[in-house]
Amino acid sequence: MALEPSGSYVAPSNLEQSSSSLPMFDVEQVQLAFSVAADFVAAQVANNVLVLALSTNRILRIDLDSPEDVEDIDLPKKSSEVGVIRRMFLDPSASHLIITTTLGENYYLHAQSPSRQPKLLSRLKGVSIESIAWNPSLPTASTREILIGATDGNVYETYIDPSSYRLEKYHAPVFQVPGASPVVGISVESVSSRPDQKRVLVATYGKLLQFIGRAAISKHGGGGSVYSELFQRETPSIHELQHSSESAPSSLVVSPPSSGGSQVDGSTAKEFAWLSSEGIYHGQLATESPFKTARMLPRSVFPASESPRGGRKLIQDPISAMTLSQWHVLALVGGKVVAVNRLSQEIVHNQPVLEPGQSALGLLTDLTKNTYWLFTSQAIYEVVAGEEDRDIWKIFLKEQNFDDALEYARGASQRDAVMTAWGDSLASKGHFVEAAKVWGKSSKGFEEVCLTMIDNKEHDALRNYLLSQLATYKKASLMQRIMVASWLVELFMSKLNSLDDNIATKAELAGSTSTGEIKDQLGNIRSDFQDFVNSHKADLDKKTVYDIISSHGREEELLFFATATSDHNYVLSYWIQRERWLEALKVLQRQSDADVFYKYSSVLMTHKPTDLVDILMRQTNLDPERLIPALLNYNKSASVSSLSQNQAVRYLNFIIVNHPNPAAAVHNTLISIHASSSSTSEAGLLTYLQSQPSSPPPYDADFALRLCIQNQRVQSCIHIYSTMGQYLQAVALALEHNDIDLAAIVADRPEGNDKLRKKLWLLVAEKKIRQPGTGIKDAIEFLRRCELLRIEDLIPFFPDFVVIDDFKDEICTALEDYSRHIDALRQEMDNSALTARQIRGEISGLDTRYAIVEPGEKCWICSLPVLSRQFFVFPCQHAFHSDCLGREVLDGAGGKKKYIRDLQAQLSNGDISSSRREEIVKELDGLVAEACILCGDHAIKQIDKPFITDSETAEDWAL
């Protein structure tokens, strides 16, 4: 037989459009890339692979992903020896193919077999295979343990391994169907709730048997049967037909897990369908007893056809094949493909496909790709499913299976219809709380729902409804959100008050709720309220909520709302008004807003100063100046006599030490508190003043001085006078208060000003000498501390009756000092006279001094012969023309430049007298020729003058 090209494989469209006007199913004929000259006798499809058996015992294997590559496979023997191919069985992975013939010969072919020739299954010789249950683990290298249903009613277990010497590792009968009826279908599945359990379905023409039990441990080496004990130990559950016929087609189909539908034990249940003479029996393999919920789809459901003999008499066509899609049973009835919804039992598609008299080989499902195929002896059809789940939500809604209806609803309108019906159903059963949650997600009228809840006094349900409704409003619907949120606050408060009343009266709700349960409910409601506030802060108007909660007297909820909305001013004000200082401080220590501290520091400083200062010292964003009123108010009202316990002093000291640059007001406040303290000790104030820099002081010295004078803080005043440089006032104040030692200390402070020091010490000396009870010797000893004082300075301070003997030694010492000083002065006078005589001699010798000028001598400025015009010559032998020297001196004259120019101007004036002219010339010569410009001060002043001027170049200096 030859394969002739006939175009390319054409796959039907997948109906990608989602319009509900398109049919859910459409049957399209598949055109292969070749033509054959023989009929199909068997067909299988799995994992997008078609396997076709021809009447000539040839097998075609077609991969639909690349339909041009066709494998042509022959049986190893002629049909006259083994018979014609009767059936084929292909596993879901398309790896294993088993072929059975009319003479009971069975062959096996692996998809990866290099020989590409089926091998005889010798142990299955004579077994006429009707059905095969592949291993649920879907192995590809070997079949592992599989069950085979035979026409003689036996169920065999075998293990086929293409890599072993003998294909069948073992072969054993494990079950015999009562009555030896052919096993038209068999299936093995793992039970999802118990993986070690297996479910075996065995179908005959009149019975459907289910075995559930533990199978033996599978051995990959094929050591022995794993199902024999299950069949022997377990008693099957049986569904049996009342009237069965072996002449009608019969088969068993188990679908893979669908993407939707009911779930059991966390996994989606599989579906089974059993075709018999009475119809199609189908259900879910969800429990151990699937037959309790399974339903029969009788033949009468399917459409009838007119009698071929004419007339209008209708006859019921037989069901020749069937399979399962996700939601429908696909059946071939009298040449028509009919799709029946499994849930509603309604026909959703009825399409004629076959010609009269044309028979089908089977209606099959590709379990891996979820495609559906119809095979006849001459044609292949694909049944294309398009959005077959689009009306499933209506069926679930009709059955009040709202969860599944909502899952399959498409679009907002369908979901809204489901939610509305769901809420109505719950309300009709009295489940208002659950209904409220559902209605809140639907478009059911807001007023209608609220009135329903209020009329039935279902305030809890109303609360739940409003919560759900609030979640549906857009953020732009500000007014609606605020109104609903405010209503919810009212409902929460009413519920909390009601529960509190029940606890107070120890009432029992509905006669069965204990006080403890009410307390638990109270805690849950309070927690719900708190969650509501945290989630909907933006929807709550503060003033409205405060009014509502306050009207119900709910203190805890009031404070929680204020805290949750960061209204710390309200919380602090609330606790302060009730004089709950510790609670107020707890709130304050969690704040970082400086304005809150400024606002409440005065009252808290008065009542809880220590705790407040502890909190203030931990804040780094405060302006200490703005806390000064609170500190002064505390200092005024506090009954703290000790400055060491004064919290204002403690805080100010902390700021001065740790703040990088505290303002002068902070220092002034601390000085004010110290100065105005009732304590007589100045230690704290003096310690502070001494610790501060004196130039300039960080405080207002005038202000501090006035305070100290006003409060008679003498030592502090003296220190401030000293820092201001007013030592005379400081010494006078110390002496005024008879503190001579302090006055002496201050008198030594003007370092470098001996005149002032002596003046100060004279004041100290006068006070010390005239101090009652002070001896002359003691006074003299004390005053020796200043080296500037002399005995003659002190004598005026002694009283008139003082005897000279009391300070004879001091006078003698002073006279000796004077004598030595007089001698020194006499020596200096003699030296000065000698110097004067020498100077007079040198002056008289100037008239006879002279300098020799050589004929070739040049001017040191212009380098021309110096004898060419008037010149000056100096003792250092430097000679200059008078005009050159005048210009040079004039350039560097500095402050004398104007005076020289004035003299030159007068000289150029012809109106002056000759005597005056001589005086000007003489004075100019004295100024110009005062000193040599190269040896005197003029040369020193020219040290920064460059060697090369702007008018010269470096070449002018070349050697």
Condensed to tens digits (0 to 9), the pLDDT of residues 780-798 reads 666 666 665 566 555 565 6
User: How far apart, in whole angstroms, are the C-alpha atoms of residue 439 and residue 437?
Assistant: 6
Residue 386: pLDDT band (50, 70, 90) is confident
Q: Residues 6 or more apart from 388 whose CB is under 8 A from it?
A: 24, 25, 325, 326, 327, 328, 339, 348
Tens digit of each residue's pLDDT (9 = 90 or more) over 743-775: 777 776 777 666 777 777 677 766 766 666 555
Asked if 319 contacts 305 with a C-beta cutoff of 8 angstroms, the reply is no
Dump the DSSP string for 94-129.
Answer: S-EEEEEETTS-EEEEETT-SS-S-EE-GGGTT--E
Band (pLDDT 50/70/90 cuts) for residue 331 is very high
Mean pLDDT across 385-411: 85
Torsion of CA 72, 77, 81, 82, to 10 degrees: -60
Task: Give me the residue label for tokens 């009835």.
Answer: 333
Give the strands of the sheet with 271-276, arranged side by side: 251-254, 271-276, 279-284, 295-298
CB-CB contact of 99 with 118 (8 Å): yes
Q: What is the three-class DSSP state of 150?
A: strand
| H/E element, 909 | none
Mean pLDDT, range 924-946, rounded to an integer: 80
Among the residue ranges 54-63, 756-765, 896-905, 909-918, the one predicted with the least confidence is 756-765
Helix (H) or strand (E) holding 153: none
Between 156 and 551, where is the model more confident? 156
Q: How many CB atoms lie within 10 A of CB 708?
A: 24
Out of 11-20, 111-120, 382-391, least confident range = 11-20
Radius of gyration of the chain (CA): 62
Structure tokens at 82: 């083994």
Q: Which amino acid is at 178?
A: P
pLDDT of residue 510: 46
User: What's the mean pLDDT when you consider all of the chain?
Assistant: 81
Integer Cα distance of 689 and 344 in angstroms: 99
Residue 762 near residue 793, CB atoms below 8 Å: yes
Question: What's the distance, CA 10 to chain centroid?
Answer: 54
Contact 453, 434 (CB under 8 A): no
CA distance 706 to 713: 10
Place of tokens 């509502």: 548
- Residue pair 913/899 in contact (Cβ under 8 Å)? The answer is no
- How many Cα atoms are found within 13 Å in the side-chain-facing hemisphere of 845? 6
Residue 42 to residue 657: CA distance in whole angstroms? 102
> In which band, very low, low, confident or very high, does the pLDDT at 889 lie, cut at 50, 70 and 90?
confident
Domain boundaries, the chain: 394-505+514-533+551-560, 866-957
Q: How many CB atoms within 10 Å of residue 782?
A: 18
Which candidate, 208, 211, 177, places its Cα nearest to that of 197?
211
Span 179-208, mean pLDDT?
A: 88
Q: Residue 344: pLDDT above 80?
A: yes
Strand order in the sheet with 207-214: 185-191, 194-203, 207-214, 237-240
The CA-based diameter of the chain, rounded to the nearest angstrom, is: 179
Spatial contact of 332 and 374, defined as CB atoms under 8 Å apart: yes
CA–CA distances in Å: residue 843 to residues 836, 848, 921? 11, 10, 22
pLDDT for 513 equals 59
pLDDT score, position 2: 41
Measured distance CA(544)–CA(488) in Å, rounded: 12
Residue range 59-118, pLDDT digits in tens: 999 998 888 888 899 998 888 889 999 999 999 999 999 999 999 999 999 998 888 899
Look at residue 711 and tell me whether its pLDDT is greater than 60.
Answer: yes
* The predicted structure's pLDDT at residue 124: 92
Provide mean pLDDT across the span 907-922: 79
Q: Where is mean pLDDT largest: 134-138, 414-418, 846-850?
A: 134-138
pLDDT at 266: 34
Cis preceding-peptide flag for 696 (omega within 30 of 0): yes
Q: Find, among 878, 853, 884, the residue nearest to 931 by Cα.
A: 878
Give the containing element (helix H, strand E) for 406. Answer: helix 402-408
Higher pLDDT residue, 741 or 608?
Answer: 608
* Helix and strand counts by DSSP (H, E) for the chain: 32, 36
pLDDT tens track for 626-641: 888 888 888 887 666 6
Sign of the C-alpha dihedral computed for residues 536, 542, 544 and 549 taken in this order:
positive
Q: Are the C-beta atoms of 734 and 743 separated by less than 8 Å?
A: yes
For residue 425, how many C-alpha atoms fall within 13 Å in the half-sphere facing its CB? Answer: 14
pLDDT at 3 over 60: no
- Summarize pLDDT for 713-723 with one digit per residue, the tens: 888 887 877 78
Give pTM, 2 decimals: 0.57
- Residues 846-858 have a mean pLDDT of 79
The number of angstroms, rounded, from the C-alpha of 422 to the middle of its chain's C-alpha atoms is: 39
**Alpha helices, DSSP H only, in 862-947?**
882-891, 897-908, 914-928, 937-941
Asked if 774 and 767 count as a contact pair (C-beta separation under 8 A), the reply is no
What pLDDT band is residue 846 in, cutting at 50, 70 and 90?
low
